[in-house]
Amino acid sequence: MRHFLTLADYSKEEILEILDLAKQIKDETKQREFKDYMPKRTLGMIFEKSSTRTRVSFETGIYQLGGIGLFLSSNDIQLGRGEPMSDTARVISRMVDMVMIRTFEQAKIEEFAKYSKVPVINGLTTEYHPVQLMADYMTIQEAGLDKDLVAAYVGDGNNMAHSWLNLAAKLGFELRIATPKGYEVDADILAKSLEMAKLSGAKITITNDPKEAIKGATVVTTDTWVSMGQEAEKERRVKDFTGYMVDSNMMKLAQEKAIFLHCLPAYRGYEVSDEVMESSQSLIFEEAENRLHAQKGVMVWLDRKRDEV
């Protein structure tokens, strides 16, 4: 049995296999063909952090695959009253076929997976956001930019930056990450990614200069400067991130064919300008839709792996 906790746990071949499956299911969906890939399967969806795209995409996805999703907030289950994660895992995993968790520390989801009898999917943690990167790369493939990919991530060294590191290290493309001083990516995650990059041939550059990162890039991406739980730091963060907004002048440094991605929600006038958000280079809403399709691929792939000896 496999879990989907970080992209570092997967090989290049497995990641691309899941995405091929996702594209197949997406094509069928566009033709209004809803095949029961997961008939009567139940997906438990545990949300310690709220979300628009994660809930809608997973709940819609499992339904279109022939199953049903159960939304479980901290107020709906005993985790909100202090039940150990290990106990919750052993109970819920005996009643559902798969679990998606959107929570805080990665250690929580790792503990849940350790005690779970069913596959566990990381819907987001403070350290990683692997399902978003599957949607991002799917969008890049559809734009025809997966060959000779040069990705520039500009902004906070957060879970998105970490997952970009994992993806680049596994698939072997060039990644440049630009963060303000004091907001760099986690040193341990970077070190592990650089080790993996030795095998894949990935080129990873870390800088404090956003222009250096974007120059000649084929994909430019960013994330909010103030993530959930950081609202009290907003004033200081906005000041510290001065010069990091992706605007039209920044995009001109990238290749002419470059696209812009953002995992959303986006705060226009902060990490990205309204002009870039609404430009022809912006594929953010295609990217958002691909959360649905990429996650279907992940769920079906994991479900199939349960039956393998």
**CA 177 vs CA 111, 196, 210, 228, 256: distances in Å:** 30, 17, 8, 21, 20
What DSSP character marks residue 33? -
Residue range 249-258, pLDDT digits in tens: 999 999 999 9
| Separation CA 171–CA 209 (nearest Å) | 25
What is the pLDDT, as a whole number, of residue 249?
Answer: 98
| Separation CA 92–CA 247 (nearest Å) | 46
pLDDT of 245 above 70: yes
Q: How confident is the model at residue 284 (pLDDT cuts 50, 70, 90)?
A: very high
Residue range 202-225, pLDDT digits in tens: 999 999 999 999 999 999 999 999
Cis omega (within 30 of 0) for bond into 119: no
Residues identified as active-site: 102, 129, 132, 223, 263, 291
Q: How confident is the model at residue 200 (pLDDT cuts 50, 70, 90)?
A: very high
What DSSP character marks residue 7? G
Q: Is residue 226 a known part of a binding site?
A: no
The rounded Cα 212 to chain-centroid distance in angstroms is: 24
pLDDT of 173 above 60: yes
- Identify which of 150, 128, 155 has the alpha carbon closest to the alpha carbon of residue 272: 155
* Residue 222 near residue 272, CB atoms below 8 Å: yes
pLDDT of 274 above 60: yes
Q: Is residue 293 a known part of a binding site?
A: no
**Taking residues 107-116, what's their average pLDDT?**
96
**Token match 């596994």: residue?**
170
Q: Is residue 238 a known part of a binding site?
A: no
What is the pLDDT, as a whole number, of residue 234?
Answer: 87
Q: Token pair of 181, please?
A: 């001083």
Q: Exposed e or buried b for every residue in 174-205, given b needs 16+ CB within 10 A?
A: bbbbbbbeebbbbeebbebbeebbeeeebebe
